[in-house]
């Protein structure tokens, strides 16, 4: 049996700020349990909900050297949904209301975490064949194993995988400060290792020393080898392209299931959506104070409110977008300019715009189940999970053709009757607006065609099963 240890800064349900947590929390459940023992290790944040803290059991503790400091390392464990989780405990690093703070604090925090992960292995009764690292916060794990832990018998033969969930975030800070806080030798701070453009870069360290690199969609794996999407690391990724694989993320079809979802007003499935889905829309309109009208084209946005998500395009044409026969529902938080933008339009058009500037899981489920279309005009999108959720709930995605959006949404073709959504290619506000208007035209004037698009979307399978099989194949190729 192959033993695999996922290392990540967050995992659902213990801590979630984005899609990374969904992947780390869901994927381990889908491996063949007879052939793969997959466990997860993450920080024990004080912000983890109390009811989840209560299922953790103390395992051990010790003190670990980090550069010139001696730091406490506590280890707890819990089983959740058939998966074993380990938690690295240290209140100095992991206290506070959220997992991430200022970058200079996070650099030391995740240097500690990376080193602690390797230090704890002899005490776990679990020697992994593969350590699977997720994003920049774990980028030092492959570096430390080549440095401090190289001589240890336990560590010999462990293969390292680095998964890029979003290349924009790399863990970059002052070179000398990082050298001081990590305790790594100067040997590692050269341009072929951790150094990049004068600074230290955790993501780069992980990419240099990993045995295999994955990212979260096939298109994104190709895009990041170009200068436009490569965020300064495209040269390294081209050099390592033989080790780079794109494996599409999935979603948990047990959590996101319109037939059994307790968060939504009316359950439905691919056979009953024609009669039942509209009941969600009516109830959502009533709850949000929007005009109750079946004919209004209801568009949902559930997202971090940032430039990456293409919201500058929305900003540019929002007056035309919020047409009299359209309703716009926004759920999420982010940059102040976008929070203010949507609040303003909700004030200006209270019967057609609803700005929910917070994130609540149950509200997002209602949005996926109630809206007619889901807008995701991202500048770049490594994989994207929201379009997968909207397909699952029969809400037609309108996306820009980039990364995982391109790989998962088949554009509607009126001539041969194919497609699961609508898409546009160029990062252009009016191209997006025209695509939204075309989708609205089909919704309002060709209802049978629209229902066929919904039908095909709901029949798509983006559960974790297919992705897990591809990861199993990758694990088998390494050891």
The boundaries of every CATH 3.40.50.2000 domain in the chain are 2-250+464-478, 273-459
Tokens of 387: 């379009």
Q: Which fold has domain 273-459?
A: Rossmann fold (3.40.50)
Residues 6 or more apart from 459 whose CB is under 8 A from it? 270
Is domain 2-250+464-478 annotated with CATH 3.10.20.340? Answer: no
**Which residue shows structure tokens 């996926």?**
368
Tell me the β-bridge partners of 177.
none
CB-CB neighbours of 77 under 10 Å? 17
Per the CB < 8 A criterion, the answer to whether 387 and 406 are in contact is no
The pLDDT, as a whole number, for residue 359 is 82
State how far the Cα of 165 lies from the Cα of 214, in Å rounded to an integer.
Answer: 9
Is the bond leading into 340 cis (omega within 30 degrees of zero)? Answer: no
What's the confidence (pLDDT) of residue 284?
A: 98
Q: What is the pLDDT along the chain (479 residues), one digit of tens a residue?
A: 999 999 999 999 999 988 899 899 999 999 999 999 999 999 999 999 999 999 999 999 999 999 899 999 999 999 999 999 999 999 999 999 999 999 999 999 999 999 999 999 999 989 999 999 999 999 999 999 998 887 778 899 999 999 999 999 999 999 999 999 999 999 999 999 999 999 999 999 999 999 999 999 999 999 999 999 999 999 999 999 999 999 999 998 988 999 999 999 999 999 999 999 999 999 999 999 999 999 999 999 999 999 999 999 999 999 999 999 999 999 999 999 999 999 999 999 999 999 999 988 899 999 999 999 999 999 999 999 999 999 999 999 999 999 999 999 999 999 999 999 999 999 999 999 999 999 999 999 999 999 999 999 999 999 999 899 999 999 999 98
Strand ranges for 332-404 from DSSP E: 353-356, 373-376, 396-400
**Residue that the structure tokens 């969600």 belong to:** 280
What value, to the nearest 5°, has the Cα angle with vertex 408 and ends 405 and 410? 100
- Note whether 232 and 204 are within 8 A (CB): no
Pairing of strands 69-80, 57-66: antiparallel
pLDDT at 360: 84
Strand blocks (E) in 182-232: 195-196, 199-201, 212-215
What's the token pair of residue 137? 């916060």
Q: What are phi and psi of 294, to 5 degrees?
A: -65, -30
- 3-class DSSP state of 190: coil
Distance CA 42, CA 85 (A): 8
For the chain, what is the total number of helices (H) and then of strands (E)? 18, 18
Cα-based angle 369, 372, 375 (whole degrees, multiple of 5): 95
**Strand-pair category, 172-174 with 159-164:** unpaired
């Amino acid at each position: 049996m192959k033993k695999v240890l996922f290392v990540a800064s967050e995992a659902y349900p213990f801590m979630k700020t984005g899609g990374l947590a969904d992947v780390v929390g869901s994927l381990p459940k889908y491996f063949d349990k007879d052939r793969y023992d997959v466990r997860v290790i993450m920080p024990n944040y004080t912000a983890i909900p109390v009811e989840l803290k209560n299922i953790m059991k103390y395992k051990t503790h010790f003190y670990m050297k980090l550069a010139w400091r001696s730091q406490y390392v506590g280890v707890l464990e819990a089983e959740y949904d058939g998966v074993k989780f380990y938690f690295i405990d240290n209140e100095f690093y992991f206290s506070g209301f959220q997992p991430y703070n200022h970058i200079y604090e996070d650099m030391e925090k995740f240097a500690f975490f990376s080193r602690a992960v390797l230090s704890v292995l002899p005490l776990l009764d679990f020697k992994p064949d593969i350590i699977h690292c997720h994003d920049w916060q774990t980028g030092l794990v492959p570096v430390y194993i080549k440095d401090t832990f190289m001589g240890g018998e336990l560590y010999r033969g462990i293969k390292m995988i680095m998964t890029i969930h979003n290349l924009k975030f790399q863990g970059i800070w002052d070179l000398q400060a990082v050298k001081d806080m990590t305790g790594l030798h100067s040997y590692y701070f050269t341009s072929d290792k951790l150094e990049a453009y004068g600074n230290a870069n955790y993501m780069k360290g992980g990419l240099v020393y990993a045995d295999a690199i994955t990212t979260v969609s096939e298109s994104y794996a190709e895009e990041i080898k170009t200068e436009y999407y490569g965020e300064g690391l495209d040269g390294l990724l081209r050099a390592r392209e033989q080790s780079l694989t794109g494996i599409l993320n999935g979603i948990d079809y047990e959590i996101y299931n319109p037939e059994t979802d307790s968060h939504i007003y009316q359950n439905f499935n691919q056979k009953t959506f024609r009669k039942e889905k509209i009941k969600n829309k009516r109830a959502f309109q009533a709850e949000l104070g929007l005009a109750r009208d079946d004919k209004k084209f209801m568009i949902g946005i559930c997202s971090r409110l940032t430039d990456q998500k293409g919201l500058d395009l929305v900003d540019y044409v929002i007056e035309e977008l919020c047409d009299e026969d359209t309703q716009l529902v926004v759920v999420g938080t982010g940059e102040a300019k976008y929070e203010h933008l949507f609040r303003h339009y909700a004030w200006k058009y209270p019967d057609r715009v609803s700005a929910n500037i917070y994130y609540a899981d149950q509200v997002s489920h209602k949005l996926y189940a109630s809206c007619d279309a889901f807008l995701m005009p991202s500048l770049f999108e490594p994989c994207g999970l929201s379009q997968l959720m909207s397909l699952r709930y029969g809400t037609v995605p309108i996306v820009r053709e980039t990364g995982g959006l391109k790989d998962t949404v088949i554009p509607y073709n009126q001539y041969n009757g194919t497609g699961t959504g609508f898409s546009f290619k160029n990062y252009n506000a009016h191209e997006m607006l025209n695509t939204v208007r075309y989708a609205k035209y089909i919704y309002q004037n060709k209802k049978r065609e629209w229902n066929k698009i919904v039908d095909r979307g709901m029949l798509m399978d983006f559960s974790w099963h297919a992705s897990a099989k591809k990861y199993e194949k990758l694990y088998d190729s390494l050891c």
